[in-house]
Amino acid sequence: MVMGYTGPERRRGGPDRRSPDQRVRILLVDDHALFRVGMRQTLEQEPDFDVVAEADDPRSAFDAAAQFDPDIVLLDLSMPAPGGIDTTQRIKREVPSVGIIALAVEEDEDQLFDAIKAGAAAFILKDIGPDDLVTIIRRVNGGEYLINDKVFARPAVASRVLKEFRELAVYGQEAAPIFAPLSPREVEILDNIAKGMTNKQVAYALSISEQTVKNHMSSILRKLSVNDRTQAVVYAMKQGWIRIPED
């Protein structure tokens, strides 16, 4: 079930006179109503946060993401089938610019690995304090990829991620449907941009819309914490994700 909040006034504190593009649009996804209420009440205290919708199952989460175009999705990984990981993956595939913050009940390395593969920007425990939650939302909305800190702190998880990157280089897009920090499609787009193609030319080459290319580029810049496409290409070349163009 999707619950959307689209009125001109915030649910508490009267009208917010900031323009819509100045506020962070947030979607809450959890199958426990009381937990959603607690998160919403916490986030509604922030003048620049808008909880635009809630969802209580994977299907409604995807529908809400498509309908309300949030900047941030707070998503419980422990939802019923198909589960939080598949939901994260699907939302990131269809709305690549969104920042997904995965909520877990415990520090589980398998779940962390799956979350980074699915494209989550952050991985946090559900007992996080309100102030820390607000800070993480702001950082993810600002383009930071906080899940990297979790991964690099766990050598076993980091080695699994690097192994998958090596498999991508060898086997191409069939190695994995999507994984962080860049999806196979995003690597493909950067590879074409490295050859000097414009967004329009990339769109034509890949049989997708120019707007889709732009959406993917926004996601790439967010994930890599760079400011423009040139920096993204240089970074990807240094990591060995794309080939250096031949003269």
| Predicted pLDDT of residue 10 | 42
pLDDT at residue 201, rounded to an integer: 92
| Beta bridge partner(s), residue 140 | none
pLDDT digits (tens, 9 = 90+) for 133-190: 999 999 999 888 787 677 667 777 767 766 665 555 444 444 443 344 777 788 888 8
What are the phi and psi torsion angles at 123 (to 5°)? Answer: -130, 115
CB 178 within 8 A of CB 119: yes
Nearest to 103 by CA among 30, 37, 163, 176: 30
pLDDT exceeding 70 applies to what percent of the chain? 77
- Give the residue, 129 or 13, on which the prediction is more confident: 129
pLDDT at 95: 84
What's the pLDDT at 94? 80
Q: Which of 45-49, 166-170, 210-214 has the lowest mean pLDDT?
A: 166-170
pLDDT of residue 218: 86
Whole-number pLDDT of residue 61: 92
* CA pseudo-torsion sign 94, 138, 223, 175: negative
> Amino acid identity of 17?
R
| Tens digit of each residue's pLDDT (9 = 90 or more) over 63-84 | 999 899 999 999 999 888 888 9
pLDDT of 164: 63
Q: Where in the chain is the domain with CATH 3.40.50.2300?
A: 2-152
Mean pLDDT across the stretch 211-220? 88
Q: Is 199 helix (H, G, I), strand (E, B) or coil?
A: helix
Mean pLDDT of the chain: 80
The tokens 């917010």 sit on which residue? 16
Strands 122-125 and 99-104: parallel
**In degrees rounded to 5, what are phi and psi of residue 14?**
80, -170
Q: Above 60 in pLDDT, residue 12?
A: no
Q: What is the pLDDT of residues 90-147, one digit of tens each?
A: 898 888 889 999 999 888 888 888 888 788 889 999 999 999 999 999 999 988 878 7
With beta carbons less than 8 A apart as the criterion, state whether 119 and 100 touch: yes
Nearest to 168 by CA among 61, 118, 242, 247: 242
Q: What is the CATH number of domain 182-239?
A: 1.10.10.10
Place of tokens 């449907």: 177
Q: Where are the beta strands (DSSP E) in 44-115?
A: 49-55, 72-76, 99-104
Give kind and range of the element (H or E) at residue 201: helix 199-206
* pLDDT of 18: 45
Q: Which CATH superfamily is domain 2-152 in?
A: Response regulator (3.40.50.2300)
